[in-house]
Amino acid sequence: MTIRNSLGFWLGVALLVLTSHTVNGQDRGFITVASTTSTQNSGLFDTLIPQFEAATGIAVRIVAVGTGQALRIGCNGDADAVLVHAPAAEQAFIDQGCGVDRREVMFNDFVLIGPRADPANVAAADSAIDAFARIATEQAAFASRGDDSGTHKKELSIWQAADIAPAGGWYRALGAGMGAALNTAAAMNAYVMSDRATWISFNNRQDLSIVYQGDPRLFNQYASVLVNPERHPIQYDLAQVWHNWLVSSAGQAAIADYRLRGQALFTPNAP
Amino acid sequence: MLDAFAGAAGLLLTGDPTLTHIVGLSLRVSLSAVLVASVLALPVGAALALFRFPGRTGVVVLLNALMGLPPVVAGLIVYILLSRAGPLGSLGLLFTPQAMVIVQSLLIFPIVAALTRQMVSDLWVEYREQLTSLGASRVRAIPSLLWDARFSLVTALLAGFGRAVAEVGAVLIVGGNIDGVTRVMTTAIALETNKGNLSLALALGVILMGLTLAVNAVAFAVGEFSRRRYGV
A25 touching chain B per CB within 8 A: yes
Q: Which residue has the higher pLDDT, B146 or A13?
A: B146
pLDDT of residue A21: 45
Query: In chain A, how many domains are there?
Result: 2
A182 touching chain B per CB within 8 A: yes
Return the ∠ at Cα B125 (arms to B121 and B130), rounded to 5°.
125
> Do residue A146 and residue A66 come from a single domain?
no
What's the predicted TM-score (pTM) here? Answer: 0.86
> Do residue A34 and residue A160 come from a single domain?
no
- Find the residue in B nearest to A201 (Cα): B195
Asked if pLDDT for residue B217 goes beyond 90, the answer is yes
How close A18 gets to chain B, by Cα (Å)? 7
Residues A78, B177: C-beta atoms closer than 8 Å: no
The number of beta carbons lying within 10 Å of the beta carbon of residue A57 is 11
> Do residue A213 and residue A228 come from a single domain?
no
> Do residue A119 and residue A214 come from a single domain?
yes
> Do residue A96 and residue A139 come from a single domain?
no
pLDDT of residue A25: 40
Compare CB distances from B194 to A17, A78, A180 and report the shortest one's residue: A180
Which domains are assigned to chain B? Answer: 2-230 (1.10.3720.10)
Q: Mutating which of B44, B194, B200, B226 best tests the A interface, going by the most A Cβ atoms within 10 A? A: B194
Query: CA-CA distance, A153 to A170, in Å (whole number)?
Result: 19
> Do residue A126 and residue A81 come from a single domain?
no
> Do residue A139 and residue A91 come from a single domain?
no
Q: Which of A55-69, A132-146, B140-154, B165-179 has the lowest mean pLDDT?
A: B140-154
pLDDT of residue A28: 59
Please state, for a pLDDT cut of 90, what percent of chain B lies above it: 66
How close A34 gets to chain B, by Cα (Å)? 9
> Do residue A137 and residue A172 come from a single domain?
yes
- Domain holding A187: CATH number? 3.40.190.10
A21 touching chain B per CB within 8 A: yes
pLDDT of residue A185: 96
**Phi-psi domain of A158 (left: phi exceeds 0; alpha: psi -120 through 50; beta: other):** alpha
> Do residue A198 and residue A98 come from a single domain?
no
- pLDDT, averaged across chain A: 90
Asked if pLDDT for residue A167 goes beyond 90, the answer is yes
Q: Which of A178, A193, A218 is the last residue of a domain?
A: A218
pLDDT digits (tens, 9 = 90+) for A89-121: 999 999 999 999 999 999 999 999 999 999 999
> Do residue A16 and residue A26 come from a single domain?
yes
Asked if pLDDT for residue A26 goes beyond 50, the answer is no
pLDDT of residue B200: 87
pLDDT of residue B232: 52
What is the domain range of residue A185?
Answer: 109-218
> Do residue A132 and residue A211 come from a single domain?
yes
Taking the C-alpha atoms of A144, A148, A154 and A156 in order, what is their torsion angle to the nearest 10 degrees? 60
User: A63 to chain B: which residues are within 8 Å by CB?
Assistant: 95, 176-178
The complex's ipTM? 0.83
pLDDT of residue B1: 64
> Do residue A242 and residue A253 come from a single domain?
yes
Sequence-ordered list of residues with C-beta below 8 angstroms from that of A143, at least 6 positions apart, any chain: A172, A174, A181, A184, A185, A188, A190, A191, A192
pLDDT of residue B40: 96
